[in-house]
């Protein structure tokens, strides 16, 4: 059995040399079972091979959105929520029966979603120009709307610090550039990354050394914050210094949209036709090719080893050999 598995992985790894990033994925009928090993899960570096599950195919779980974004896993409810920004709604996929329903409509043209330490959902609203928190009693709390008296632009993605419960979010201008994903408006603030204190609720700007900040995630040890800068065509990494950031520098010259870290410190980024995976030293080690442009992803499932990917009009997933870091 182990010999057969090594043979399968060798075949999959060999495929990487012949498949360029941006090339169309292998032709397949997404209504039929996928092949083993999946030819679109590719090792660019030998370090990625241990994360490739040879008998785990990429699956399309749903199609029918206009622009899928912001996946977040709820471990208690055993469901995955994501945003369909132009349709002004949130969708929910339930693991127990693969059921997909409209979860929230209208949603304020929500983009990124996550869950805090108390299990409450946080959503970045383009339309509302705020970070909203949905309380257990059904009410909605505006966590962040203004900074120094001015409206934030259009919060894009959000993470919660597992240690102190602080909320960190990016604020580019994408949601106010037109009426398709929000409401066209003039910017009042420079794009930036913000932190909401977990105790006082105070809003502080932690960096504006970014062009159009997008996805963000903490390293497993919480010592670093990665920020995808789609406007600048790069992903940056900062040292987390208590309540602030310092020593910002380029991590990779790829403007990742959504990003997530796994427990071993690798950075998984949605960019172009799928997901690129980078080791902590910035080397690209793996790729997952999809038939649609991938915006974002999250780890979920009972063991947090299932990667959910929101890609244009569809939701995809694949099991991998590592668990995700963070809360959601």
The proportion of the chain whose per-residue pLDDT surpasses 90, expressed as a percent, equals 87
**Mean predicted lDDT score pLDDT of the chain:** 93
Q: Is the pLDDT of residue 64 over 50?
A: yes
Q: Is the pLDDT of residue 318 over 80?
A: yes
- 22 CB neighbour count, 10 Å cutoff: 11
Q: What's the rounded mean pLDDT across residues 244-255?
A: 97
What would the two tokens of residue 328 be? 């959601």
The terminus-to-terminus CA distance of the chain in angstroms comes to 34
> For residue 56, what pLDDT is reported?
97
The phi, psi pair for 3, rounded to 5°, reads -60, -45
List the structure tokens of 73. 């896993």
**Over residues 173-191, mean pLDDT:** 98
The reported pLDDT for the residue numbered 19 is 52
Residues 277 and 264: beta-carbon distance below 8 Å? no
Q: How does pLDDT run across 16-59, given as a tens digit for each residue? A: 333 567 676 778 888 888 889 999 999 999 999 999 999 999 99
pTM, rounded to two decimals: 0.93
* pLDDT band for position 15 (cuts 50, 70, 90): very low
Q: Among 6-15, 42-51, 52-61, 285-294, which is the least confidently predicted range?
A: 6-15
Residue 6 pLDDT grade (very low, low, confident, very high; cuts 50, 70, 90)? very low
Residue 229 has pLDDT above 80, yes or no: yes
| pLDDT (0 to 100) of residue 20 | 67
Residue 237 in contact with residue 226, Cβ under 8 Å? yes
pLDDT of residue 31: 86
Higher pLDDT, 51 or 12: 51
- Its CATH class, for the domain covering 2-319, is mainly beta
pLDDT of residue 16: 39
Residue ranges of the domains in the chain? 2-319
Dump pLDDT digits (tens) for 102-158. Answer: 999 999 999 999 999 999 999 999 999 999 999 999 999 999 999 999 999 999 999
- Which pLDDT score, from 0 to 100, does residue 144 have? 98
pLDDT band at 2 (very low <50, low <70, confident <90, very high): very low
* C-beta atoms surrounding 272 within 10 Å: 18
**What local confidence, expressed as pLDDT, does residue 28 receive?**
87
CA 247 to chain centre: 23
Residues 6+ apart with CB under 8 A from 117: 160, 162, 165, 327
Alpha-carbon distance of 13 to 155, in angstroms, equals 38
Binned at pLDDT 50, 70 and 90, residue 272 comes out as confident
pLDDT of res. 91: 98
pLDDT at 205 over 70: yes
């Amino acid at each position: 059995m182990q010999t057969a598995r090594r043979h399968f992985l060798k075949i999959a790894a060999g495929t990487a040399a012949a498949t360029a990033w941006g090339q169309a994925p292998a032709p397949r009928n997404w209504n039929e079972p996928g092949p083993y090993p999946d030819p679109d899960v590719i090792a660019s570096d030998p370090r990625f091979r241990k994360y490739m599950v040879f008998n785990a195919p990429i699956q399309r779980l749903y199609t029918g959105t206009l622009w899928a974004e912001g996946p977040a896993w709820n471990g208690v409810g055993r469901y995955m929520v994501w945003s369909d920004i132009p349709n002004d709604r949130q969708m929910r996929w339930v693991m127990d029966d693969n059921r997909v329903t409209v979860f929230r409509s209208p949603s304020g043209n929500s983009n990124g979603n996550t869950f805090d330490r108390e299990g409450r959902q946080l959503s970045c609203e383009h339309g509302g120009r705020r970070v909203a928190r949905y309380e257990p009693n059904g009410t909605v709390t505006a966590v962040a709307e203004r900074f120094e008296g001015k409206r934030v632009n259009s919060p894009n993605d959000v993470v919660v610090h597992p240690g102190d419960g602080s909320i960190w979010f990016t604020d580019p201008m994408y949601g106010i550039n037109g009426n398709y994903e929000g409401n066209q408006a003039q910017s009042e603030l420079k794009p930036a990354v913000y932190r909401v204190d977990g105790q006082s609720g105070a809003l502080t700007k932690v960096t504006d050394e970014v062009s159009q900040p997008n996805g963000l995630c903490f390293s497993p040890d919480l010592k670093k914050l990665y920020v995808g800068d789609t406007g600048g065509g790069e992903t940056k990494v900062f040292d987390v210094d208590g309540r602030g950031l310092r020593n910002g520098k380029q991590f990779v010259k790829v403007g990742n949209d959504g990003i997530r870290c796994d427990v071993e410190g690798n950075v998984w980024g949605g960019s172009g036709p799928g997901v690129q995976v980078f080791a902590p030293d910035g080397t690209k080690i793996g790729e997952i090719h999809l038939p649609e442009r991938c915006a974002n992803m999250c780890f979920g499932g009972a063991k947090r080893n299932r990667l959910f990917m929101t890609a244009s009009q569809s939701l995809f997933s694949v099991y991998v050999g590592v668990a995700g870091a963070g809360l959601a």
